[in-house]
Amino acid sequence: MDLHECLPDWMKGLTSLKTLHIENNHKLKYLSPGIQYLTSLQELCIDDCEKLVEISLGNSIKWEALTSIRRLTFKNQPNLVTLPGGLQRATTLQRLSIMNCQNLTALLDWICKLCSLKALDLLYCRNLKSLPGSISGHTCLRSLQIYGCHPLIERRRRSSGEH
């Protein structure tokens, strides 16, 4: 596999790495399973990697192994249709930001099981139609920012009788 299509395996040796931003890689298709060895990683941002398909498809990353992850950002990811199921085991995640992911249509109920999640940012996800009903019972969530998610906002207005 071309080095540009997959993160290099040598990254798994960076066990003290705290921040990783993967940006503007238009060839990247897969995140290396080696990313799970970055046990000190606190922040991961994946921005504008238009061919990245693994986010929604695979659960090859053991998110629960990222025992220090606090902040996760998906930005400008056209292939993000749903959040990876393995992410529900990222028990230390405090902030999840999803921005300009046009094909994301819904968040699944398990997002409410992220017991450390304090902030959820949903910005310009123009096809996001629903949030889990159980989100209102998420006791740790302190900040919910929704902006530019028109179907979601319109649905909320209709259900509350606003015009």
Number of folded domains that form the chain: 1
Residue 118's pLDDT is 97
Q: Taking the CA atoms of 162, 108, 22 and 17 in sequence, report the sign of the dihedral they define.
A: positive
In whole numbers, what is the pLDDT of the chain averaged over residues?
A: 85
Query: Which two three-digit tokens encode residue 56?
Result: 């929604």
Beta-carbon neighbour count of residue 65 at 10 Å? 17
pLDDT at 99 over 60: yes
Strand order in the sheet with 119-123: 19-23, 43-47, 71-75, 95-99, 119-123, 143-147
Segments forming the whole domain that contains residue 131: 9-160
Among 7-16, 51-60, 123-132, 154-163, the minimum mean pLDDT is found in: 154-163
pTM of the model: 0.86
> At 74, which CATH number?
3.80.10.10
Is position 2 within any domain? no
Residue 151's pLDDT is 73
144 SS3 class: strand
Is position 4 within any domain? no
Is position 19 within any domain? yes
Tens of pLDDT, residues 104-115: 998 988 898 899
Is position 1 within any domain? no
Tens of pLDDT, residues 64-91: 888 999 999 999 999 898 888 888 889 9
